[in-house]
Structure 1
Amino acid sequence: MFVVTMTQRSVEPSERRATEFHQDIQQHLGVELSGSRSPDPMAYCQVFSAAPQVVETALYAMRLGTWNVGIGVGSATEHEDQLTGSGVRAADLAVALAAKQGQLVPLRVEAAKPPRGVEQTQLGKHAQSVLQLLGHIVSRRSDAEWAVLDRLDPGVRGQQRRVAHELGMTVQAVSQAIKRSLYNTEHEVRSAVSLLLDQTDAAVNIQSNSGI
């Protein structure tokens, strides 16, 4: 299980921004989610069982540049309308670390427990490193590049001519925007970081079930 907890980087956080993020991420994921699970209306918290959804949520937050993102790997259960569990505590720790001043990419991953016989850095921290790299890439893209990328479907060939027509650009300019933004590389690496998160989740579950 994955818990994503986010806090606003703005000096004047607002409930509206959290509500808008919830609406936007549902559209990006193509699924209907329950509302934010955070007791703070200006923060955002969501529970996911699928690693690719975690990656999409984190990278969209990095694109916006207005959120600190903490990803906790562990359990999450609802008790008296409150979310509790080791994954929730891990996410709270992760977002607190992400919010520290001077962070180039305000994103952290914390596993509930170091998996048996494996240092935490070998799984969750590797996932964190890859996500931070991807976060750096998406956060540096221009509005013009996003105008192109938002019209693409990952893995589908022959889209450049259609996008060029929609935007009134040359096919060459569209191709250059795709290459400059490292779009294809990003989507290839997403599967790798999803695998790392899944491995972290599986290892945490094994240790938790062992009673250690």
Structure 2
Amino acid sequence: MFVLTIDQRGSTGDRDRVPELVSELSGLSRPGTGAAFERSVGDEVQGVIADPGEVVDAALHALRSGHWYVGIGVGHVVLTPGASSREGSGTGFVAARQAVEAAKSAGSLVPLSVVSGTMGRDIRGGPAGDEGVRACANAEAVLRLLGRLVQERTDAQWRVADALRRLGPDKHGRQKQVARELGITEQSVSRTLIRSGWQEEWAARPAAAMLLEYARTAVVGPGGGP
């Protein structure tokens, strides 16, 4: 599993955004997988997710507003089914804490980090954690590229992108439907999607999820571990 620790940026001069984020993230993950997102301490949110695609969803959603530091820990997770993430332990939690602190030190980079919990040996049998560290760095690089796309999207671009996503992946003629819903031309929808990098984002999301899954295998072994 993956542990996400997400900390509010500039919280001392801002309102408490934790309840809003917890509600939004709860709608992105399937029930019964991992541990639901909840306030862990202060203005921080934590959750445990089994599916790497859902990790990508949660991370990019948090980055979208620009109000959060995102840390993703890849490592062993000890968590009783149905338990709160606050009751969990293992290297995944330690790695998530290190990751969110690294995100805070990212400077001008997208405030996201992926850190390996280095317990045990990597999949090549080499020094403990070497392959896991490299795999996490690769996943982080792709997620930061995607994060840059979502952070730079304008409100108008999000209006079109959100409308398109609500229709689901299997709808035909979706741009025409979005244009009708928003009261704009189909050509305007098309231009907006091109400028927003929407197609590039959704083409790259599976690659980010694949890299996270590879990182998990490198850190905890085939099968993903607990």
Bin of the TM-score, shorter chain as denominator length? 0.7 to 0.9
- Residue 76, structure 1, aligned to residue 81, structure 2: no
Partner of 2:179: 164
- Residue 92, structure 1, aligned to residue 97, structure 2: yes
Partner of 1:136: 148
Partner of 1:57: 58
Distance across 1 between alignment mates of 2:205 and 2:13: 30
TM-score by length of 2: 0.83
- Equivalent residues of 1:52, 1:194 under 8 A apart: yes
Distance across 2 between alignment mates of 1:94 and 1:182: 27
- Residue 185, structure 1, aligned to residue 200, structure 2: yes
TM-score by length of 1: 0.88
- Equivalent residues of 2:36, 2:48 under 8 A apart: no
Shift of 1:155: 6.1
Instruction: Give the letter for the 1:22 counterpart.
Output: V
Sort the Cα spacing of 1:204 and 1:120 in 2 relative to 1 into closer, same or farther, 3 A: closer
Task: Name the SS of the counterpart of 1:110 in structure 2.
Answer: strand
Partner of 2:221: 206
Shift of 1:109: 0.2
Instruction: Give the letter for the 2:185 counterpart.
Output: T
Q: Which moved more, 1:187-196 or 1:24-33?
A: 24-33
| RMSD (CA atoms) | 2.5
Shift of 1:98: 0.4
Partner of 2:38: 36
**Identity percentage of aligned residues:** 36
Partner of 1:3: 3
Q: 5+ residue gaps in structure 1?
A: none
Shift of 1:37: 6.1
Partner of 1:149: 161
Shift of 1:4: 0.4
- Equivalent residues of 2:37, 2:48 under 8 A apart: no
Instruction: Give the letter for the 1:160 counterpart.
Output: Q
- Extract structure 1 runs of 4+ deviating beyond 6 A: none
How many residue pairs match? The answer is 207
